[in-house]
Amino acid sequence: MHHFKSLLLVLLSFLLTKSMEAQSISAAQKQKIQTLFKEWDSTHSPGGTIGIFKEGELIFTKAYGMASLEYDVPNTVHTVYNIASVSKQVTAFSLVLLEQQGKLSLDDAVQKHLPEVPDFGQEITLRHLLHHTSGLRNFQNILTMAGWRDGDPMTNDDLLRYISDQKELNFSPGAEYLYCNTGFNLATAIVERISGKSFQKWTRENIFLPLGMEDTGYREDMEAVHKNTATSYNGSRAEGFRQPHKYWTYLGNGNIYTTADDLARWLENFRNPKIGGQAAIRTLVTPGVLNNGDTLDYALGIGVGEYRGLLRYSHGGSIGGYRANLSYFPEQELGIIVLSNFSSAGPGGKAQEIANILLADLLLPKKEAEEEQPDEAKPTYSPNPKELSTLTGVYYSPELDTRYTLTAEDDKMRVQHQRHKDFSLESIAENELRGTTYFFRQVKVIRNKKGAVEGLRVSNGRVRNLWFEKLK
């Protein structure tokens, strides 16, 4: 009799689950979603895991492709992935919770908690760090310019050493938005200084375990062995797959490893906040405002805006071969989780397509794509040999404590660094050059009144006008 009752309970639970799923996602919708991920569904390529969260329940999960191509291990709905920059919202939430506890204010100057950060003559607040409006240089870019190569481990301690030598900002704090991982690395150090605990331990005790996210955490040691974790791969089925170097030993801007199940528990804290209450969530998702009054579509570590007329909180992530996207439509109580272990997965686009399927009756029509304008012909510039010869020499950055050697070679400049492969600079205008490598992309030549070269200002997107002095 007891055995019969147990079977009956299992059957009722199964029928209730199927009924809930049927009410929330139709067979036709499910088929459309399956079709979206047909290319992932292979025993010969990596794939990923998707989850659909609705009104407090993870109503649909599905895994595709392989977690390990070497050992023919498939991904499962419980496989662990690195979610990269999706992690930023957790870092921001940590500071929000500490503010609730009266241990800091988001309007504190960074130096109040991290005195080693230089005083640039303009106040940088914790809020600036989390809105990407601090003006600080992005740490991966500056470390690469300093000589770090692809695959070299980068740590939060490395960042603190280099940030203490920074002389200038990219722009005045609050003047503009420029995506910058540095602020989130600094935020982890602030949590550690205030709490006296490692960031990994503090977040586990104060966020992950209280939310039931037992399979979630940060990993700083790339040599440690972790079970049930997907290997990441660069490439595609057409070109083949390769394993990228593991170098992401930093925390805060990324490096959370988690599952679809646990991310559903994180989304539930937006819907029904168990930690921090509604006040903490409101603070987390309040968009930043620039000095000129413009409102950003980015809040504290999370994007906030409209998707086809519906309010959406979202963020993507990319590190090694891992790609991830987490989207939540608060008014519909709908969350979409897309985790993958290969670089060409495109989870952001997949998440939007899932939203198109599930919210078809609520979404505004798609905007018609604007016609691409033909590229304007780039002006050609032919420097004279004398102009190039004046650039020959050794250039030193006091911020990075590193030097580059420039040598005139035909109509270009050859650039050498003891840690990087040689690359070239091509003249594109008077006193302006463009590099063939991403970290030395735009170069402005600074001359004195007599025309002698004093130095170079080097930019690469997330670093602007970093000074290299020409040594005598």
Q: Sorting pLDDT into bands at 50, 70 and 90, what band is 12?
A: very low
**What's the pLDDT band for 377 if we cut at 50, 70, 90?**
low
The residue whose two tokens read 């272990």 is 341
Query: Mean pLDDT over residues 5-19, rounded?
Result: 39
In the predicted model, is pLDDT for residue 16 greater than 60? no
CA pair distance 79, 105, nearest whole angstrom: 37
User: Which fold, 385-470?
Assistant: Lipocalin (2.40.128)
**Sign of the dihedral through C-alpha 361, 281, 24, 265:** positive
Is the pLDDT at 177 greater than 50? The verdict is: yes
Q: Is the pLDDT of residue 241 over 60?
A: yes
- pLDDT tens digits along 74-99: 999 999 999 999 999 999 999 999 99
Band of residue 6 on the pLDDT scale cut at 50, 70, 90: very low
Helix axis angle for 347-358 and 27-36, nearest 10°, is 160
Asked if residue 8 has pLDDT above 90, the reply is no
Report the predicted TM-score, pTM, of the whole model to 2 decimal places: 0.90
The CATH number of domain 81-358, selected from 3.40.710.10, 3.50.50.60, 3.20.10.10, 1.20.140.10? 3.40.710.10
Q: What is the pLDDT of residue 320?
A: 95
Residue extents of the structural domains in the chain: 81-358, 385-470
Higher pLDDT, 11 or 198: 198
pLDDT by residue (tens digit) across 421-454? 999 999 999 999 999 999 999 999 999 999 999 9
Phi and psi at residue 217, in whole multiples of 5°?
180, 170
Mean pLDDT, the chain, integer: 92
Band of pLDDT at residue 107, cut at 50, 70 and 90: very high
- Burial class of residue 443, CB neighbours in 10 A (0-12, 13-18, 19+): buried
pLDDT score of 383: 83
Query: What is the C-alpha separation between 443 and 433, in angstroms, rounded?
Result: 5
pLDDT at residue 5, rounded to an integer: 41
pLDDT tens digits for 138-173? 999 999 999 999 888 888 998 899 998 999 999 999
> Residues 23-34: what's their mean pLDDT?
89
| Segment 381-416, tens digit of pLDDT | 888 888 889 999 999 999 999 999 999 998 899 999
pLDDT of 49 > 80? The answer is: yes
How much is the pLDDT for 370?
A: 57
Residue 19 has pLDDT above 50, yes or no: no
pLDDT of residue 378: 58
